[in-house]
Amino acid sequence: MDLSYRDITYCKNVGAKRADILRSELGVHTAMDMLRQYPYKYIDRSKFYHIAELDDEDTYVQIIGEVTEWHTIGIGKAQRLSAMFNDGMHQCELVWFKGVQYVKLQKGIKYLLFGKPSRFDHRFNFVHPELTPWSKVTPEMTQGLEPYYNTTDKMKRVGLNSKAMRIIIADLIPDLRQGVPDTIGADVLQQYKLMSLTEALTNVHFPRDRFAMQNARARLKFEELFYIQLQILRQMKRREQNTGYLIPTVGTRFHSLYRALPFPLTEAQKRVIREIHEDLKSGHQMNRLLQGDVGSGKTLVALLCCLLANDNGYQACIMAPTEILANQHYETLKAFLAPLNKLSAVSHQPSVNIALLTGSTTKKQRVPLHDGLRNGQIDILIGTHALIEDEVQWKNLGLVIVDEQHRFGVAQRAKLWNKNQIPPHVLVMTATPIPRTLAMTVYGDLHVSIIDELPPGRKPVQTIHYSIERRAQVYSFLRQQIEQGRQIYVVYPLIKENEKLDLQDLQNGFNELCEAFPEYRISMVHGQMKAADKDLQMQRFQSGETQILVATTVIEVGVNVPNASVMVIQNAERFGLSQLHQLRGRVGRGADQSYCLLLTRNELTKETRQRIDTMVATNDGFRIAEADLQLRGPGNLEGTQQSGLPFDLHIANLSTDGRLVELARQAAMTILEKDPLLEDEFNRIYKNRLDILRIEAYNWGEIS
């Protein structure tokens, strides 16, 4: 029977109880599913150590020797077994805290010791090692690379540890070697010098050598990435055929605002507007990603694109993830549009009617707003997820702009798209620059525009790292800045004290700053405040009434106070690189030199030190995003936890497999250029595989 159809229940060493656990914990339903559970590491069992060679860096080692003595300590559940193991020259201690009654030791016989050494009281010991009499050691136990598998507590309770997984998979290998249908065509295998599926699955679990293991993993990674790219590119080709509203005219509103701007657009802003307009006048629906670092002028680009829609008779909307950001966009756009609307009042030129809809909008305010949307009087609507509510109906919505889109669920974005019979043009904006390999995978079905230039006159923010012991020096610097008329942000990671994390909380920090700066006024903002209270405090800071704003990361995006010149981030070690960069982007918006002060503990892990050093070394968001991807991996990056992928990754890693991403995309593009619908007999293998994968993971990739 094909391993894809063999129920896991009937595989050797499984049975009904274990099968239920495998299904619920790992999604393993068939023998092939089991073979797709890849090892997360390998231990080289061909190498033997002496005790004198042990090092703190060693993970697992094996040593040949004898047990010279042992004794038990304690009684009952507190009992432990301690033994001395001698390799002929040196000795170390072996310790068992559990299952002491099952450990049977003998003097005078040779053992194979296998385990992870740890240092205690200046000597190496082994906790719960595997100890096998040499007479029972099989060749397989001391040859080649031994695979290790991820398991869960529920699995371990029914005996499904890594060793049990290895045994179950080993029993499937003889059937696997009889051959399984490949998932990649022979021409692609040959072109990219890839193993067959049979060979790859065999060598990923029980590799004949390290080279074979690496080739097997490369083949399986390529397969995952290839099908993701194939699905993404098919989706892109289908979208390119979607009918879109024609927005060809660059009209009066656009030109009026362009001429009224108090500063010139950067060349990068002009370039992306041209790219967007090419889509809008193509007759096909636009799906475009606009990347731009903090402060690069994405909001102005978004407004000009809205005016392109308005000039062609269509409404536009901008959806923001928070009320603070929605309000900020609304106020910013109103300020940009004020000269245009003032001119229209005296010259009979068309004005721009802009409105705001958030969760705080009252029922009384919503009635005329909904009427204005339905009759087309409202040209641009700014809002939060309130825009997707069923009662929000449009006359002719032509352009949807989604800001910081990773903060919205895909289903939420789908509701906004589906408000029209013809889907509106979609522009997705992000202030978190995305590394190329990640963008090719997570956003591979969108055309990409990048604003890679900051407005003229902006001075790079100077970033300085301080330990908390130098707080007095930091406070002295803050006082100098306030005396020069500047304002200060102070950001904390927590709202309330958490003894476990031992972090200074927001309230304590606020109290301390009030004591340190009694002559100045201080505001406090956090996510648990009522919207009205939060807005009041923000307005006090924006107007200059207060000199210091103490906040959580609620101010990460959307706050624009040009007079604020210093960002202090308390316990900066608790933030990711992307978040630190976003917070730093709140300053440096005026003509004065701005600063970002990172306060941390003295003792930092290697990874944390790298994060802090990266922030000090560069202001380039793309370099920071690359470093973030390398340090944390794509699964931890904000907003990219496979949320944009049509299928999950089980073995490929976007932070380390960039070259494979490119090769997989190249292979997928070559196939689709010749056969966009995968109708050729040679490509049926890919269509069938995509159908299976879609059944396994429902695809929300239809929405940008």
Q: Evaluate if residue 124 carries a pLDDT over 60.
A: yes
CB 40 within 8 A of CB 149: yes
Q: What confidence tier does 17 reach under pLDDT thresholds 50, 70, 90?
A: very high
How many other CB atoms sit within 10 Å of the CB of residue 258? Answer: 15
Determine the 3-state secondary structure of 447 from DSSP: strand
Q: Which of 166, 145, 149 is nearest to 210 (CA)?
A: 145
Residue 169: the pLDDT is 95
Q: Is the pLDDT higher at 223 or at 351?
A: 223
Domain boundaries in the chain? Answer: 8-42+160-209, 47-142, 221-241+654-696, 252-451, 462-618
Q: Evaluate if residue 700 carries a pLDDT over 50.
A: no
Least confident of 32-46, 458-472, 690-704: 690-704
Question: Measuring CA to CA, how many Å separate 237 from each of 28, 231, 240, 250, 279?
Answer: 33, 10, 5, 27, 14
**Mutual orientation of helices 197-205 and 210-240 as an angle, nearest 10°?**
130
Using left for φ > 0, alpha for ψ between -120 and 50, and beta otherwise, residue 40 falls in alpha
Domain 47-142, CATH homologous superfamily name and number: Nucleic acid-binding proteins (2.40.50.140)
Residue 24: the pLDDT is 94
Tokens of 511: 């109290």
Q: How many residues does the chain have?
A: 704
Residue 697: the pLDDT is 59
Determine the 3-state secondary structure of 113 from DSSP: strand
CB 329 within 8 A of CB 336: no
Q: What confidence tier does 496 reach under pLDDT thresholds 50, 70, 90?
A: low
Residue 498: the pLDDT is 58
Residue 1: the pLDDT is 60
Determine the 3-state secondary structure of 335 from DSSP: helix
Residue 634: the pLDDT is 54
Residue 386: the pLDDT is 84
Q: Evaluate if residue 86 carries a pLDDT over 60.
A: yes
What gap in Å lies between CA 397 and CA 332, rounded to an integer? 22
What gap in Å lies between CA 640 and CA 658, rounded to an integer? 16
How far is residue 71 CA from its own chain's centroid?
50
Each residue's pLDDT tens digit, 565-582:
999 999 999 888 888 988
Q: Evaluate if residue 618 carries a pLDDT over 70.
A: yes
Residue 138: the pLDDT is 79
The residue type at 390:
D
Q: What confidence tier does 703 reach under pLDDT thresholds 50, 70, 90?
A: very low
Average pLDDT, the chain: 86
Q: What confidence tier does 411 reach under pLDDT thresholds 50, 70, 90?
A: low
Alpha-carbon torsion (360, 366, 368, 370), positive or negative: positive
Residue 505: the pLDDT is 75
Tokens of 62: 């094996």
Q: Evaluate if residue 652 carries a pLDDT over 50.
A: yes
Question: Measuring CA to CA, how many Å separate 531 from each of 208, 492, 527?
Answer: 63, 19, 9
What lies within 8 Å, CB to CB, of 488 at 6+ separation is 478, 481, 482, 547, 548, 549, 564, 565, 566, 567, 568
Determine the 3-state secondary structure of 202 from DSSP: helix
Q: What confidence tier does 425 reach under pLDDT thresholds 50, 70, 90?
A: very high
Residue 642: the pLDDT is 46
Least confident of 192-196, 436-440, 464-468: 436-440
Least confident of 71-85, 155-169, 185-199: 71-85
462-618 CATH choice from 3.40.50.300, 3.30.70.20, 3.40.640.10, 3.40.50.150: 3.40.50.300
What is the pLDDT averaged over residues 286-301?
A: 87
Each residue's pLDDT tens digit, 299-341:
999 999 999 999 999 999 999 888 878 888 998 899 999 988 8
What is the pLDDT averaged over residues 637-663?
A: 71
Q: At 65, which helix (H) or strand (E)?
A: strand 61-73
CB 646 within 8 A of CB 699: yes
Least confident of 297-311, 395-409, 623-637: 623-637
The residue type at 698:
Y
DSSP of 144-188, one letter per residue?
Answer: SEEEE----HHHHHTT-SHHHHHHHHHHHHHHHHT----SS-HHH
What gap in Å lies between CA 287 and CA 444, rounded to an integer? 11
Half-sphere exposure of residue 379, counting CA atoms within 13 Å on the CB side? 22
Residue 552: the pLDDT is 85
What is the pLDDT averaged over residues 439-444?
A: 71
Place of tokens 């380390």: 656
Residue 420: the pLDDT is 66
What gap in Å lies between CA 400 and CA 302, rounded to an integer? 10
Greatest mean pLDDT among 21-35, 121-135, 488-502 lies in: 21-35
The residue type at 67:
V
pLDDT above 90 as % of the chain: 53
Q: Which strand ranges, in their side-by-side order, compose the sheet holding 80-86? A: 117-120, 123-127, 91-96, 80-86, 61-73, 111-115, 130-133
Tell me if 252-451 shares its fold with 462-618.
Answer: yes
**Phi and psi torsions of 582, nearest 5°:** -65, -45
Ranges of H-type helices in 137-293: 153-157, 162-177, 186-191, 197-205, 210-240, 252-260, 267-280
Least confident of 20-29, 171-180, 489-498: 489-498
The end-to-end CA distance of the chain, in Å, is 41
What is the pLDDT averaged over residues 636-663?
A: 70
Q: What is the model's pTM? A: 0.69
Residue 141: the pLDDT is 74
Instruction: Name the β-bridge partners of 147.
Output: 42
Residue 502: the pLDDT is 44
Least confident of 93-97, 210-214, 289-293, 425-429: 289-293
Least confident of 312-321, 371-380, 503-512: 503-512
How far is residue 5 CA from its own chain's centroid?
34
Q: Evaluate if residue 226 carries a pLDDT over 60.
A: yes
What gap in Å lies between CA 184 and CA 174, rounded to an integer? 22
Place of tokens 């890679």: 452
Residue 194: the pLDDT is 97
What gap in Å lies between CA 29 and CA 10, rounded to an integer? 11
CB 173 within 8 A of CB 205: yes
**Mutual orientation of helices 323-347 and 298-311 as an angle, nearest 10°?**
50
What is the pLDDT averaged over residues 426-440?
A: 77
Architecture of the 252-451 domain: 3-Layer(aba) Sandwich (3.40)
Each residue's pLDDT tens digit, 446-461:
788 889 887 777 788 9
Q: Evaluate if residue 499 carries a pLDDT over 60.
A: no
